[in-house]
């Protein structure tokens, strides 16, 4: 991707977002027509085609045909698919159970559209990929108001524009069930070796971006995928990387398991090094608990969408020295040879190791 293309994409995205902000502020002259009130799928698709965010020049055929056609270079491509479902990944404002402080805020339709895209963006970040195009399938509740389908698409389109991702096509359906969005995304490696979950070795540093815990209070809807940070880390040759969607205890365990084909490895992390977020402390306070409970949230809560990465000590020093981003990074501990009978992940409290139980999110099928 050359600088001219990058500039064109950014300029187009900024123009699109500025136009939509003008609409939001009530500037009727700049406002495009609303989604059709008709329940006809094809009328809705035709409206979407008039509202699409900027597309890559590599998009040869966009929404409206049987398939989208993208021109691709002879390079590795990252592929990802993910689904968000009402009642499981979000509570939709005005529908379903009334949110409580511990359950977190209800999502607006725009936030739902945004989250559907940013979850895939976060996985691209964990590979070091540059997101390029997306397909989305939206299943609406039967009889859903026109504002729902309009605002969900608005969230999708704004997010694609913000991150320079081409919305290449998709599908719409309705059913007697909750709102659901499935997103398939492609990303370009551009010659960079992908950062896999496997690759950790004894002596490597365990490190993380940002802070952890309490995402249910709002971060799970509004997080920033660490795309530039992930690219930087992949270029610096990290040993392994994963985005924290399920929780630190579970995702670090997965890195140990996936790396076990080469080395039997475990990880030791220091309790005092874990970056406990303000949200984790607030959530613990709402529960009537203290610092130990806040640490629990930081270790086990899901949907932080920060990057957990493993890196050689000499490369870690270079990353710290050259880190160009506002989001902080910190070392949590070290990878170690795994002796028979030892737990994969241990937490050191005042220097004493104890097994870290995996209490992070596990999808039940």
> Listing from the earlier edge strand, what are the strands of the sheet with 77-85?
77-85, 180-188, 130-141, 166-175
CA distances 55 to 169, 170, 233, Å, are 11, 14, 27
The band of 140, judged by pLDDT with boundaries at 50, 70 and 90, is: very high
Q: What pLDDT does residue 263 have? A: 81
Percent of the chain at pLDDT exceeding 90: 70
Q: What's the rounded mean pLDDT across residues 314-342?
A: 97
Q: What is the CATH number of domain 205-355?
A: 3.90.650.10
Q: How many residues does the chain have?
A: 365
What token pair was written down for 57?
A: 């020049």
Q: Which of 188, 185, 184 is nearest to 75 (CA)?
A: 188
Q: What is the pLDDT of residues 63-76, one digit of tens each?
A: 766 777 878 877 88
Identify the weakest region by mean pLDDT among 39-43, 197-201, 270-274.
39-43
Q: How far apart are CA 235 and CA 101, in angstroms?
A: 41
Name residues whose C-beta falls within 8 Å of residue 363's C-beta, 6 or more positions apart in sequence.
none
Which of 3.30.50.10, 3.30.1330.10, 3.90.420.10, 3.30.70.520 would CATH assign to domain 3-188? 3.30.1330.10
Q: How far apart are CA 288 and CA 359, in angstroms?
A: 20
Contact 256, 265 (CB under 8 A): yes
Q: Where are the domains of the chain?
A: 3-188, 205-355
Contact 273, 332 (CB under 8 A): yes
Q: What is the pLDDT of residues 343-363, one digit of tens each?
A: 999 999 988 999 999 998 776
CA distances 230 to 97, 128, 182, Å, are 36, 5, 23
CA distances 352 to 269, 270, 346, 348, Å, are 11, 9, 9, 5
């Amino acid at each position: 991707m050359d600088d001219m293309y990058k500039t064109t994409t950014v300029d187009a995205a900024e123009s699109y977002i500025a136009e939509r902000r003008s609409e939001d502020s009530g500037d009727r002259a700049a406002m495009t027509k609303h989604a059709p009130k008709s329940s006809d799928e094809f009328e809705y698709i035709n409206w979407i085609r008039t509202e699409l965010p900027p597309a890559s020049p590599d998009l040869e055929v966009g929404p409206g045909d049987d398939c989208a056609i993208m021109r691709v270079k002879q390079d590795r491509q990252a592929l990802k698919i993910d689904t968000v479902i009402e009642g499981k990944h979000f509570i939709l404002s005005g529908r379903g159970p009334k949110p409580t402080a511990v359950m977190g805020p209800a999502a607006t339709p725009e936030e739902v559209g945004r989250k559907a895209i940013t979850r895939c963006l976060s996985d691209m970040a964990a590979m070091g990929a540059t997101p390029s195009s997306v397909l989305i399938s939206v299943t609406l509740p039967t009889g859903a108001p026109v504002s729902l389908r309009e605002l969900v698409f608005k969230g999708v389109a704004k997010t694609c524009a913000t991150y320079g991702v081409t919305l290449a096509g998709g599908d719409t359906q309705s059913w007697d069930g909750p709102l659901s969005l499935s997103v398939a995304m492609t990303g370009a490696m551009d010659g960079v070796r992908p950062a896999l979950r496997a690759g950790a070795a004894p002596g490597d540093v365990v490190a993380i971006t940002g802070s952890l815990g309490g995402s249910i209070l709002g971060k799970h809807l509004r997080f920033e995928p660490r795309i530039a940070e992930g690219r930087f880390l992949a270029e610096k040759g990290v040993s392994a990387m994963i985005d924290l969607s399920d929780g630190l205890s579970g995702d670090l365990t997965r890195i140990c398991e996936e790396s076990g084909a080469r080395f039997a490895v475990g990880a030791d992390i220091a309790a005092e090094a874990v970056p406990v977020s303000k949200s984790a402390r607030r959530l613990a306070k709402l529960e009537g608990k203290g610092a130990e409970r806040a640490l629990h949230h930081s270790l086990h809560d899901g949907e932080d969408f920060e990057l957990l990465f493993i890196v050689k000590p000499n490369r870690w020093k270079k990353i710290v020295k050259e880190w160009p981003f506002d989001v902080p990074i910190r070392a949590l501990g070290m990878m170690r040879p795994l002796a028979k009978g030892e737990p994969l992940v241990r937490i050191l409290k005042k220097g004493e190791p104890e097994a870290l139980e995996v209490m992070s999110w596990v999808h039940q099928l």
